[in-house]
Amino acid sequence: PPEASPANPPADATESPAPSEGRAVDASTPPPPSDPVPPAYSAYGPGGASPARSPYASGVDGAFSLDPETGARLRVLASDLNAVAARSDNGILSGVLSITTGALTITMGILFAEYSNVEDASFLATYLYVFGGTSIARGIMELILKPDYREPALRYAHMPMRTPNEAAARLKYGEYALEDLADRSRAARLVDGSLSLAAGLAVLPVYLVPRDFEVDTIGVFVIIGASISIVTGLVTLFLTSEAEDRWDAYQELDEELRTGPAAEAALRKKHAFSIDVAAVPLPSGAALGLSGKF
């Protein structure tokens, strides 16, 4: 047979010798790899892990459940505050524009009275003074009385509800915010409508009385402007705002939740008549007990 060499090793040189019976296995030799156990599968995904649950769901440690009436109030308040914030204009911008318009109108009246050669320049200047002053007053009113509709909605949306006390505080703030918006909107609406109505009614006698109620071409425009101001004031006085309508609707909901079918059912359950029967074994027989609630 050919001699063994590094280039020509023997046939059994690359094969590991089989351990004989009773021979100790080398501890440095790692065990053969085993097949990994597949993860358990459940309806929630691999590993059987359940999805994260809401901290307000019942059954979670340290959590609580809101009653249906409180949950309904919280949802309605969130919807009302967001709707009022989305549909209301910016009071600061409209107030500044109204003040600027009034100042320009008064300036036009001054220039008209000083440099105009029109026969009725003084009466037209008075007309411009009245409407300019009304516009400035309305602008100041919007800056002072008209609320910021967005701030309560943002604050309410970011209030936590981790505990029953926090949920109650959120409900209390939402009711206070919506009522405050309704009250301030009502005050601003009444003042705005009254100013428009007063300006329109004041212009007519100021312009027409000195002229013995004679109406010329300029007088037609004066009467049209005064009539528009009167109509605008009446509409503003009798047309409620979005915040007022929302608060009235919430009060109706609150009254219904307090005295509606759920409250009546709870009241009937509280005052319902019930009888409980209990049997007690005795050494010589049994005893039957009756108890009633009414």
Query: Would the pLDDT of 22 be above 70?
Result: no
Residue 66: what pLDDT? 83
CB 112 within 8 A of CB 218: no
**Other Cβ atoms closer than 10 A to 48:** 11
More confident residue, 160 or 56: 160
Residue 166: what pLDDT? 92
Top-ranked range on mean pLDDT: pick from 9-18, 66-75, 116-125, 282-291? 66-75
Residue 155: what pLDDT? 95
Residue 77: what pLDDT? 95
Residue 221: what pLDDT? 81
What HEC string does the chain produce? CCCCCCCCCCCCCCCCCCCCCCCCCCCCCCCCCCCCCCCCEECCEECCCCCCCCCCCCCCCCCCCCCHHHHHHHHHHHHHHHHHHHHCCCHHHHHHHHHHHHHHHHHHHHHHHHHCCCCCHHHHHHHHHHHHHHHHHHHHHHHHCCCCCHHHHHHHHCCCCCCHHHHHHHHHHHHHHHHHHHHHHHHHHHHHHHHHHHHHHHHHHHHHCCCCCCCCHHHHHHHHHHHHHHHHHHHHHHCCCHHHHHHHHHHHHHHHHHHCHHHHHHHHHHCCCEEEEEEEEECCEEEEEEEEEC
Residue whose token pair is 């528009």? 228
Residue 44: what pLDDT? 38
The pairing of beta strand 41-42 with beta strand 285-293: unpaired
Span 78-103, pLDDT tens digits: 999 999 998 877 678 888 998 999 99
Query: Would the pLDDT of 253 be above 80?
Result: yes
Query: In terms of C-beta density within 10 A (0-12 exposed, 13-18 middle, 19 or more buried), how is residue 130 classed?
Result: buried
Residue 53: what pLDDT? 41
Across 107-130, average pLDDT: 80
Mean pLDDT of the chain: 75
More confident residue, 43 or 234: 234
Residue 121: what pLDDT? 72
Which residues have a Cβ under 8 Å from the Cβ of 94 and sit 6 or more positions away?
Answer: 139, 142, 146
Query: Would the pLDDT of 6 be above 60?
Result: no
Span 199-242, pLDDT tens digits: 888 888 877 777 777 777 777 888 888 888 899 999 999 999 99
Across 53-76, average pLDDT: 67
Residue 238: what pLDDT? 92
> CA-to-CA distance for 65 and 55, rounded, in angstroms?
9
pLDDT band for position 75 (50/70/90)?
very high
Residue 88: what pLDDT? 75
Residue 62: what pLDDT? 47
Name the residue type at position 61.
D
Query: In terms of C-beta density within 10 A (0-12 exposed, 13-18 middle, 19 or more buried), how is residue 222 classed?
Result: buried
Q: Tell which residue, 243, 233, 161, 160, has the closest CA to residue 201.
A: 233
Q: Report how far apart, in Å, the C-alpha atoms of 132 and of each of 102, 115, 117 are.
A: 4, 19, 22
Weakest mean pLDDT among 35-39, 253-257, 263-267, 270-274: 270-274
Across 189-195, average pLDDT: 91
pLDDT band for position 287 (50/70/90)?
low
Weakest mean pLDDT among 156-160, 206-210, 279-283: 279-283
Residue 4: what pLDDT? 52
